Structure 1
Amino acid sequence: MDQQQDNENTDTADTAPTVQQRIKQVSRRLLAGASTRAGALKSGAQSRLHGRPLPVKLALIALWSMAAGLMAILAWLLILIPFTPGIDDLEQVSRSRPTVILDAGGRPLGTFEKGLQERVKLSQVSPHVVEALISTEDHRFYQHHGVDFKRVAGALWASIKGDPQGGSTITQQLARNMFPQEIGRARSINRKMKELITAIKIENTYSKTQILEAYLNTVPFLYNAYGIEMAARTYFGKPAQKLDVLESATLVGMLKGTHYYNPVANPERSLSRRNVVLGQMRKHGAFDDKRYAQLVKRPVRLRFARLPDRSGKDDHFTHHVRKWLLDWADENDYNLQLDGLVVRTTLDPELQAAAERAVRRQADILQAIADVEWANPNVPRSTATATYTSIRPNIDPFSYYWITNARALDAFVRESGAYRNAVEEGEEPAAALKRLKADRGFMNELKAAKSRLEAGFVAVDPASGEVKAWVGSRDFERDQYDHVAQAARQPGSTFKPFVYGAALERGIPPDQAYRDVVLEFKGDHGEVWKPTDMDGNSGRSMPMRDGLVFSKNTITAQVSQEVGIEPIVRLAQGLGIRQSRLEAVPSLALGTSPVTLLEMVSSYATIAALGEYHKPIFVRTIEDREGNVIADFGVGQPERAMSRESAEALIDMLRGVVTRGTGNGVRNRFGIRGDLAAKTGTSQNNQDGWFIMMHPNLVAGAWVGFNDNRVTIRSSYWGQGGHNAALVVGDFFRGAFDGGSLDAKATLPGWRAPEPRRYVVEEEPEEIFMDEAQEIVPEGGPEVMPVAPPPEPVEPVEPVIEPLEAAPAPSAPPTGFPTPSEL
């Protein structure tokens, strides 16, 4: 019985009419009732008209028709009332404020302000503005209650005679400005009815002073200026309170059509319209005929200047926050332009400043190195950056690259928008290529874009996942492509800690021995993988720890084969690679699957947090306009991605990279002390340079390369992440330590005081993944190498000079152009 009743209830719930169905049902009943009543009215009307004279019949029919029309209009208005803004909406708009984005120190990063707008009281506006506005737009403003029916009737009669006129009051115009989506802009009776209803609601909610104030603060005046205050400053260089009668009339005259009567672009139309406004002011008693005659003779005098955007100069971090906030606001039903939210981000202003300085300074140096190396057949063999910065003013950047890579240059032209447009419009491909290559301006611009070195940097607090610094490129205005969260590049050897971490999780100890020899590994489909190391192989046994410290491809390959690819993929994803797709192939162990810098730094932060993953956080809290926290993003629980014991062992292995491995140059070059762990990374042919370093309180990483990875740093030395990206990270940490943002005495788990150094440890070269050792020559033939390397000068800008070592022979320009990992 109960089951049957439940089924009946379920059936009833399933068949319950929707809101639309209910409306249709009610409409049918109303129409049926109306039809019945209409029939009764028709019978009654016929009986009343029976026997009356014809003129009386016609008069009665006309009156009844007018009454029916009025009743229809009244019914229409009643139906539209629920579809117009309510009192709550009016109050919300009246209290509207743009959402503001703040850094961790409370300083503004940007806003969601709708143009340039500054609200002022009516007492702060020149009386001439109010007189001009009321005289021209709504001279019965103080007599009506939102709708001037006398003016509406006059406008209707004028339209019937062929002279269409507007009948909207100031309050109706305010309704349109406040609710453009709800009311609309189309010329229709439906829109006019909505506007009328909303205007009446506004009049019943606010005083005339408040209405004038709201109108003057929201009306647009072109050039991103909203409201009378910004208009006065834009066109006349003064506050609204100091506008004279001519200036007031000019601005009010723009309201009929801001573009058409723009005093900057159309001064003659603006003058004519200003005089019309002055005539209306005279008509309604603002001044007499004599004063009017004097005023209309004066020209329009402007002090025009576009005001700078105060919403904040976006960078990659703020741009990322904006995009995220738009989605969040849509999901949670907030209006970022009106609700006055306060978004508190995690960005640390001091660390951000250090990051921006490091990227700017070191990327400029690396650009000089790339420019010099590709300028001539001979490459300077120096590990000192000052060598290249001193040569840079005297060379033609990348000239040798363009000579020896003619096929690449042709490919760049064919991939350009100008070439594609030309071919689509019917020009022959060969002719389009020849024409564009002959265009010196086009070619110079193309070469400059392709040869511009880029960099990305991000720093994360491992204890919380909070992003403390974020630099997406060298210059946001020039390159909005974000090399932190958007660009996916091959991580090279920075991926190796995931391999060794998976081995530790399996129980393989750091001291397990492997032979440093080249081995062949067969894939599932019979393919052979034979990883090698650029500096050769010793054939001797070495512990797994040293395989990571010295970034040995041969050792890493053996470890990955013993552990298996799937466990490595699972660990990498658990640690933080959660957006990019990892290819489960043998070469993955050497970092061939593209990932983002944010994912890599987040993964290292998980290791530094002893295996606990914290999702990267860039917004800490969001508050409403009253200061109440409506969203808190810093309270999430971490996920265990790796055992504490394995994380401690992996940190200790990475510590060796800085003390004696491929990353030890960062200490010497920048004078950095303290307990640090790191890993370097370089992808094939020097396409990508990576360096990620861990401090107990901060994990930071950098990527260096070119947007088009067919262009690379030429030499093997400067092409390595331990020598390019490490400059950015080292410069940042030096600034962070010097500025007191980081504690140099803090230690990572497992730290032991180092023994006094009795000798200088030479920096080991970082290895680059290559499937097979191969000789690369330029298209024009082998390059001529210098007989002897030039002496290395001392770098004056760096406190501690890295010990000199013979750099590897510079690699020749590549002949093959692999498919870009991302563009």
Structure 2
Amino acid sequence: MATKKAPKKTKKDNSNAKHIRTFWKLFAGFLGIILLFFLLASWGVFGSLPDETSLENPEKNLATEIVSSDGKTIGKFYKENRTPVPFDSLPDHLVNALIATEDARFYDHSGIDGKGTLRAAIFLGSRGGASTITQQLAKQLFTEQVSRNIIQRGLQKIKEWIIATRLERRYTKEEIITMYFNEYDFVNQAVGIESAANIYFDKPPMALTTVESATLVGMFKNASLYNPIRNEEGVKNRRNVVLAQMEKYGYISESVMDSLQALPLEIKFTPQGHDEGSATYFREYARSFMEDWIKENPKPDGSKYNIYQDGLKVYVTIDSKMQEYAEEAVKKHMAKLQIIFDEQNENNKTAPFRDISEKETEGILNSAMRKSDRWREMKQQGKDEDEIIASFNKKTKMRIFSWKGDIDTLMTPMDSIRYHKSILQAAMMSMTPQTGEVKAWVGGIDYKHFKYDMVKKGKRQIGSTFKPFVYATAIDQMHMSPCDTLPNTLYTIPSGRHNLIEPWTPKNSGGTYGGMVNLKYALANSINTITARLIDRVGPRPVIDLVQKMGVDTEKMPEVPSIALGTPDVSVYEMVGAYSTFANEGVYVEPILIQRIEDKNGTVLYQNVPKTKDVISKETAYVTVSLMEGVTQSGTGTRLRGTWATGSPVYKKAMTGYPYDFKNPIAGKTGTTQNNSDGWFMGMVPNLVTGVWVGGDDRATHFGSITYGQGATMALPIWGMYMKSCYEDKDLNVSTANFTKPEELSIETDCAKWREGASDIEGIPDEFDF
């Protein structure tokens, strides 16, 4: 039987087999090269990769938070404005929006989405990218941005894949989501979801609505392009894409999507820059405090804390609502007062200065020029003085302050200095006298343009607000009563007494004299002759010793009788602390601003311990408070009662928020300095002491008359509006009660006829003002 021969292999068959073998060899080689690239990349040949420690604890620049007494973040110190939040602080719709838009199969892959990668490779990215959320996190945490060079980009992509798989092995899906939200830079100094939610919507992440979450998630595509402040239409369109993705994957219904897409883009931009936001002057004080604290308190390993990246939490005494009310009161009154001031300067050839020579004006401007940032910067550049001075007289583009908003203009730097010298300044501080906790701190009218803090750094003459210290000394030393009377006549302290070189005869404002007046009337109406008699009796030294015990720096305070009328320079900070001694039954409590400091893990690093000092007896403190109550009952502070100057167009024009119509006990004192340069009001209720100062940057900047230049017109309205807001906010529990009366009181304060004798004084009205 013949055998069947196998068919002969043709050349074509051999050629196909050869091609197939070649393909598989090439494919295997390609895979080998890819594998080799991955191995080389993982070994760090193409650049370092994070080690195990870095993956477990990715390094971040965490902002230091300033947290108010009512739990609000009122400021931050940061290199990057990032404050991490846990997963349970992220609303479900925010997480769902991210997954639907950026990585729909997030919970199904291990860092690399094979299906997405294949799709991106086939369609060259035209149908969407392949980067998973984990890969994007890897890029943010551990890889740097490189050029679009295809080789460099390919190497970076390999690194991202390797890091992504490592991240997936070390973290849960929830932790990866949380890290991604905390890491992303949403621009406008909003790094991380906590900052973004607060900056763009003025709320924490958990309070975001679905449409707000969609807006922020839309920014992940390109935050610079989809910037809500610059590209409103683009951001809205991108937001609607996110909402469509949420509907596509079943997170919201079609009807909900349609209703949300129709909504306008409602951004509530709340910047958190160092020059913006709430309590800017206080935050600068807190920064200075922290820098000093860091020098003396190193970490356990000996290194120093960094307030810009260590994620510290600084818990402060400031109440965010009271701070808001204080800033609003300053803003409202000062904007109105500035209009009046500008009107009075329309025909003033030396505006904004008064009562000084041309040479003195030149001196003020030249001094300001040499203290300016421009001068310092040009000096550092090596410019000579002639060149620098010449630059101050050349017009340049600049932004200047106005109460209606900053103005972009063209003017010389010297004209800018003169212009800003014409802007009236203000400062106020509010404190709980029993604890020393400072609840509000306004160091100026606008930190961006006027950085000098007039609460603690600035010191100005205090006028008649110093008189209660003289009265308190007389009460303490001589057991004097508010009902005691003294003659209201010119009084001369001769030379040689109390270090006087020549005789001193102070005059009353308004030139009104005659009759006998009691101490309560005298202080209420700020009668200088009575104060002169008192300091002559007690001497300047005991008064200086008293205020020194109350926290006032007396090193440069001259030991002469004229201090009784308020010639010393004292800060608002010192005055509030000193007055608080009266409200706190004679015990001085040093003002407290920083309660405690914690590290990022919640470990307490610093805890404030209050510093107290017994200064005067409860009786002396109460009697002095009783005297100051007369100021608001029938004296320079009666405007707080809502009955003074009713119908007067002059005072209605200046009294912002008037009438205040307070019915509760208020102790206080107005103060006006020579030439109306400084206006003060110190006001107290049992659990809150507040001081307000108003004046020009220079003493030569002032009103032309006492009508507007007195403390009752310049400063008191700020106190009135602030307290009115505090009382309307019942959560604050600001007292309306009487001041605490000592159980044993030997000095009479309830003078039924305390105005007896005053009617004999010619020309004194029922509510004498000055």
Aligning the two structures, in what range does the TM-score lie when normalised by the shorter sequence?
Answer: 0.5 to 0.7
Q: Residue 426 of structure 2: which of 455, 459, 472 is its match?
A: 455
CA distance in 2, matches of 1:428, 1:626: 53
CA distance in 1, matches of 2:582, 2:428: 19
Q: Residue 518 of structure 1: which of 491, 498, 501 is its match?
A: 491
1:765 and 2:769 aligned: yes
CA distance in 2, matches of 1:496, 1:596: 16
CA distance in 2, matches of 1:539, 1:752: 24
Any conservation in 1 of the 2:394–2:412 contact (CA below 8 Å)? no
List per-residue Cα deviations over 1:163-212 (Å, max 9, x = no partner).
xxx99x979x99xxxxxxxxxxxxxxxxxxxxxxxxxxx99x97999999
List per-residue Cα deviations over 1:668-717 (Å, max 9, x = no partner).
24211111111111111111110001101211111010011111111112
Query: CA, structure 1 residues 240+602, in 2 after alignment: closer, same or farther (shift >3 Å)?
Result: same
1:711 and 2:701 aligned: yes
List per-residue Cα deviations over 1:217-261 (Å, max 9, x = no partner).
879999868799999x99xx99799978xx89x99xxxxxxxxxx
Counterparts of 1:729-808 in structure 2 under 5 Å? 729-740=719-730, 741-742=732-733, 745-750=736-741, 762-766=766-770
Aligned-partner SS, 1:462: coil
Q: Residue 633 of structure 2: which of 659, 673, 686 is its match?
A: 659
1:475 and 2:446 aligned: yes
Aligned-partner SS, 2:447: coil
Query: CA, structure 1 residues 554+631, in 2 after alignment: closer, same or farther (shift >3 Å)?
Result: same
2:558 corresponding residue in structure 1: 583
Deviates more, 1:497-506 or 1:211-220: 211-220
CA distance in 2, matches of 1:637, 1:363: 35
Aligned-partner SS, 2:509: coil
Q: CA deviation at 1:645?
A: 1.1
CA distance in 2, matches of 1:436, 1:500: 54
CA distance in 1, matches of 2:681, 2:367: 31
1:114 and 2:79 aligned: yes
Give the aligned length.
553
Q: CA deviation at 1:743?
A: 5.2
Q: CA deviation at 1:719?
A: 0.9
CA distance in 1, matches of 2:684, 2:625: 9
Aligned-partner SS, 1:702: strand
Q: Residue 343 of structure 2: which of 362, 372, 394 is its match?
A: 372
% identity of equivalent residues: 30
List per-residue Cα deviations over 1:139-176 (Å, max 9, x = no partner).
xx9xxxx9xxxxxxxxxxxxxxxxxxx99x979x99xx
CA distance in 2, matches of 1:429, 1:335: 36
2:690 corresponding residue in structure 1: 700
Aligned-partner SS, 1:415: helix
Deviates more, 1:485-494 or 1:312-321: 312-321
Any conservation in 2 of the 1:370–1:714 contact (CA below 8 Å)? no
Counterparts of 1:130-529 in structure 2 under 5 Å? 310=272, 313=277, 315-332=280-297, 333=299, 334-376=305-347, 406-417=358-369, 425=384, 427=386, 441-442=412-413, 444-510=415-481, 511-515=483-487, 516-523=489-496, 524=499, 526-529=501-504
Any conservation in 2 of the 1:398–1:451 contact (CA below 8 Å)? no
Any conservation in 1 of the 2:62–2:81 contact (CA below 8 Å)? no
Query: CA, structure 1 residues 313+89, in 2 after alignment: closer, same or farther (shift >3 Å)?
Result: farther
Aligned-partner SS, 2:417: helix
1:677 corresponding residue in structure 2: 667
List per-residue Cα deviations over 1:412-444 (Å, max 9, x = no partner).
44334389969973649999998899x965465
CA distance in 1, matches of 2:561, 2:272: 52
Any conservation in 2 of the 1:229–1:240 contact (CA below 8 Å)? no
Any conservation in 2 of the 1:675–1:744 contact (CA below 8 Å)? no
Q: Residue 610 of structure 1: which of 566, 585, 599 is its match?
A: 585
Q: CA deviation at 1:339?
A: 4.5
CA distance in 1, matches of 2:431, 2:220: 51
Query: CA, structure 1 residues 228+538, in 2 after alignment: closer, same or farther (shift >3 Å)?
Result: closer
Q: CA deviation at 1:374?
A: 2.2
Deviates more, 1:611-620 or 1:471-480: 471-480
Aligned-partner SS, 1:722: helix
CA distance in 2, matches of 1:614, 1:229: 37
Query: CA, structure 1 residues 632+547, in 2 after alignment: closer, same or farther (shift >3 Å)?
Result: same
What amino acid does structure 1 have at the position aligned with 2:285? H
Any conservation in 2 of the 1:665–1:763 contact (CA below 8 Å)? no
Aligned-partner SS, 1:717: helix
2:236 corresponding residue in structure 1: none
CA distance in 2, matches of 1:571, 1:622: 33
Any conservation in 2 of the 1:114–1:337 contact (CA below 8 Å)? yes
Deviates more, 1:210-219 or 1:443-452: 210-219
Aligned-partner SS, 2:460: coil
1:193 corresponding residue in structure 2: none
Any conservation in 1 of the 2:61–2:80 contact (CA below 8 Å)? no
CA distance in 1, matches of 2:59, 2:752: 65
RMSD: 5.2
Aligned-partner SS, 1:318: helix
What amino acid does structure 1 have at the position aligned with 2:616? M
What amino acid does structure 2 have at the position aligned with 1:417? M
Query: CA, structure 1 residues 349+752, in 2 after alignment: closer, same or farther (shift >3 Å)?
Result: farther
Structure 1 length-normalised TM: 0.56
Aligned-partner SS, 2:720: helix
Aligned-partner SS, 2:547: helix
1:543 corresponding residue in structure 2: 518
Any conservation in 2 of the 1:413–1:436 contact (CA below 8 Å)? no
Query: CA, structure 1 residues 322+133, in 2 after alignment: closer, same or farther (shift >3 Å)?
Result: same
Structure 2 length-normalised TM: 0.60
Q: CA deviation at 1:316?
A: 1.4
- Gapped regions of structure 1 (runs ≥ 5): 1-84, 147-165, 175-201, 252-304, 378-396, 767-823
Any conservation in 1 of the 2:679–2:715 contact (CA below 8 Å)? yes
Q: Residue 556 of structure 1: which of 531, 537, 546 is its match?
A: 531
2:64 corresponding residue in structure 1: 99
CA distance in 1, matches of 2:219, 2:413: 50
Query: CA, structure 1 residues 653+335, in 2 after alignment: closer, same or farther (shift >3 Å)?
Result: same
Aligned-partner SS, 2:689: strand
- Gapped regions of structure 2 (runs ≥ 5): 1-49, 88-94, 104-111, 113-128, 144-154, 201-213, 226-266, 300-304, 397-409, 643-658, 742-748
Query: CA, structure 1 residues 427+441, in 2 after alignment: closer, same or farther (shift >3 Å)?
Result: closer
List per-residue Cα deviations over 1:757-786 (Å, max 9, x = no partner).
9x99633132xxxxxxxxxxxxxxxxxxxx
Query: CA, structure 1 residues 227+641, in 2 after alignment: closer, same or farther (shift >3 Å)?
Result: closer
1:278 corresponding residue in structure 2: none
CA distance in 2, matches of 1:671, 1:728: 14
CA distance in 1, matches of 2:456, 2:465: 17
Any conservation in 2 of the 1:513–1:541 contact (CA below 8 Å)? yes
CA distance in 1, matches of 2:554, 2:53: 42
CA distance in 2, matches of 1:227, 1:644: 53
List per-residue Cα deviations over 1:270-322 (Å, max 9, x = no partner).
xxxxxxxxxxxxxxxxxxxxxxxxxxxxxxxxxxx9x9855673521222223
Q: CA deviation at 1:537?
A: 4.8
CA distance in 2, matches of 1:650, 1:492: 18
What amino acid does structure 1 have at the position aligned with 2:738? T
2:247 corresponding residue in structure 1: none
1:639 and 2:613 aligned: yes
Query: CA, structure 1 residues 755+590, in 2 after alignment: closer, same or farther (shift >3 Å)?
Result: closer
